A = this chain, B = another copy of it.
Amino acid sequence: MATDQAQDDSISDTYGEFRSRVERISSVEDAGGVLRWDQEVVMPEDGTPARAQQLSTLSSISHELLTADETGDLLEELEAADLDDEQAAVVREIRRKYERATSVPEELVAEISETTATAHPEWKQAKENDDFEAFAPTLEKLVELKREYAEHIDPDADPYEVLFADYEPYLDLETAERVLERLRDELVPLIEAIDGSSAEITTDAFSGTFDDDDQEALACDVLDSLGYDWSRGRLDTAPHPFSTGTQFDARVTTRFEPEDLLGSITSTIHEFGHANYTLGLPDEQYGTPLGQSRDLSVHESQSRLWENHVGRSRAFWDHFLPIARERFPELEAVTPEEAYESANQVSDDNLIRVEADELTYHLHIVIRFEIERALISGDLEVEDVPEAWNDKYEAYLGVRPETDAEGCLQDIHWSHGSFGYFPTYSLGSVLAAQLYAAIEADLGDFSADIRNGEFDALNGWLRENVHRHGKRYTTPELIEEATGEAFTADYFLEYVAEKYGELYDL
């Protein structure tokens, strides 16, 4: 007994030391998050040189803390010990980060970071000039560097699988691929059917010109209405809306275009979903993986659940249209049904991902996924990307980009070296539908709640079944715990078939 006690105390000391180390790393990372928010939202334009130095210092400090021998020693000691579930989850998560960070040589990390730093302005320039060839050499270098990166982490694995796991560590690529293939195979005919439908839905309920300040007031109304906790958040504008922060301070950004009122409403709801997840993480676990959100697909499931299942529902417009009319009396003549239809119009002649509707969006993603997989495997050469891109747009969406600027140069991601990121957008939507079906199974139909602007039950369910767990469970475990099932595209496909079948009389 005495020996057991002494051993427990020793483990408890070791775990305490480990936890302090982990919290320290998180604090440095979170400080970087504040600096990045500042850079995107409030920093004066010429602040970049100092900010770049501050961010690179913080990033190298957190990298050094993570990869230090002490971290490895503590991990080994704890892995050999008898830990409770929460401790074991923290050790699992840090082990994974540690392995990735220590496998890649510092010089390669530095080279990737330098290359992406210059790739970003090069991509921007190439997009402006519609000049893919100007960007091609850099893209080629990035592909090579990221292949090399993957090789260091796991020389035996498919390199794309390794890269994908940077964004989605626990969902295996095979599952992801199966889901994306199903989306492609089932959405292409659905969209074709919509295109051929003679149903006429309202598309212009929100046409007009809308004042920025009034749009901002309405964005606050959106957040108020969904129950955003202003004592732990704020709303600002940013050219590319995002959400960032911690459970104590999770901020939303949005943007206002005079002729796109609907866009600012849906973007605000989307970012609310992200921030709301962050705000549901447990306070007392701040600084450890148990107080941090699961990865990109789960995060995106939260934003898409609110944006699509709530914000694009018929009930939501019963609730929200009167609020919108307070700010914009010109909406007086619009009916909730018209608002609902306008928020759900499907259009397959759109070339731009970020402007896509709830259905065609996933074909944009599938195209990027197929192309980046082939690029990384070597089945596709960089020089052949534009043609492959355009062919796929023609095949899946029936529309062919006339320029690379509105084709394969449209997205920033590859200039960041982010190969494997795109799929998480679609996986998040698919998961949102699976979660929503589980919520309806648990709570019954709660469209009446939405109609009354009452979101407590919905949010309570998400808090209980998703948010409060942080990274306690792996993603497949979390999905299983929350929904009782493995990850599946069934619910998403059912949801869109029903919703769009009804809207377009299919």
A residues contacting B by CB (< 8 A) are 23-24, 27-28, 30-32, 34-35, 38, 42-51, 53-54, 56-58, 61, 229-234, 246-249, 251, 283, 286-287
CB distance from A34 to the nearest CB of B (A): 6
A-B contact pairs, 15 of them (CB 8 A): A23-B53, A28-B54, A31-B35, A34-B35, A34-B54, A38-B38, A43-B249, A44-B251, A46-B248, A47-B246, A48-B248, A49-B286, A50-B286, A51-B249, A53-B286
Note all chain B residues with C-beta closer than 8 A to A251: 44
Q: Is the CB of A44 within 8 A of B246?
A: no
What is the bound-complex CA distance between A58 and B24, given in angstroms? Answer: 9
A47 / chain B contacts, CB cutoff of 8 Å:
232, 246, 248-249
A50-B286, A61-B61 are known; give 11 further A-B pairs, CB within 8 A: A24-B61, A28-B58, A28-B61, A31-B58, A44-B231, A45-B231, A46-B229, A49-B248, A50-B246, A50-B249, A51-B249
Q: Is the CB of B27 within 8 A of A54?
A: yes
Q: Which residues of B contact A230 (CB under 8 A)?
A: 44
Residues in B neighbouring A45, C-beta threshold 8 A: 231
What B residues does A287 contact at CB under 8 A? 53
Report the bound CA distance from A230 to B248 in whole Å.
31
In the A-B complex, the 3 residue pairs with the closest CB atoms: A47-B249, A27-B57, A50-B248
Give the Cβ gap from A60 to chain B, nearest Cβ, in Å: 8
**Nearest CB on B from A207, distance (A):** 31
Assembly CA distance A13 to B57 (angstroms): 20
Among A31, A61, A283, which residue has the most Cβ atoms of chain B within 10 A?
A31
- Residues of chain B with a CB closer than 8 A to A38's CB: 34, 38
Contacts of A232 in B (CB 8 A): 44, 46-47
Residues of chain B within 8 A of A23, CB atoms compared: 53, 57
Of all chain B residues, which has the CB nearest A42?
B234
B283 A49 Cβ-Cβ under 8 A: yes
Kindly list chain B residues whose C-beta atoms are within 8 Å of the C-beta of A30: 50, 54
**Within the complex, which residue of B27, B53, B231, B249 is in contact with A27, where a contact is CB–CB below 8 Å?**
B53
Q: B249 contacts A46, CB within 8 Å?
A: yes
Known: A30-B50, A47-B249. A24 touches B57 (CB 8 A): yes
Say whether A44 contacts B233, CB under 8 Å. Answer: yes
With the chains together, A17 CA to B45 CA distance in Å? 30
In angstroms, Cα B35 to Cα A248, docked, is 14
Nearest residue in B to A37 (C-beta to C-beta)?
A: B38
Contacts of A286 in B (CB 8 A): 49-50, 53
Chain B residues with Cβ below 8 Å from A248 are 46-51
Cross-chain contact A42 with B44 (CB below 8 angstroms): no
**Distance (whole angstroms) from the CB of A124 to the closest CB of chain B:** 19
In chain B, what residue has the closest Cβ to A38? B34
**What is the CA–CA distance of A24 and B58 in the complex, to the nearest angstrom?**
9
Q: How far is the CA of A58 from the CA of B234 in the complex (A)?
A: 24
Q: Determine which of B28, B48, B229, B246 lies in contact with A57 in the assembled complex, contact meaning CB atoms within 8 Å.
A: B28
Alpha-carbon separation in the docked complex, A74 to B395 (Å): 65
Which residues from chain B contact A43 at a C-beta distance below 8 Å?
249
Closest residue to A284 on the B side, CB-wise? Answer: B49
Q: Are A231 and B46 touching (Cβ within 8 A)?
A: yes
Question: Whole-angstrom distance between the alpha carbons of A234 and B24 in the complex?
Answer: 31
Complex formed: what's the CA distance from A32 to B28 in Å?
A: 10
Are B44 and A31 in touch, CB under 8 angstroms?
Answer: no
Q: Please, which residue of chain B has its CB at the minimum distance from the CB of A232?
A: B46
CB-nearest residue of chain B to A27: B57
Smallest Cβ-Cβ distance to A57: which chain B residue: B27
In the complex, what's the smallest C-beta–C-beta distance from A51 to chain B, in angstroms? 7
Q: Which residues of B contact A249 (CB under 8 A)?
A: 43-44, 46-47, 50-51
Name the residue in A32, A38, A233, A249 with the highest tally of chain B Cβ atoms < 10 Å from its Cβ: A249
Q: How far is the CA of A251 from the CA of B287 in the complex (A)?
A: 30
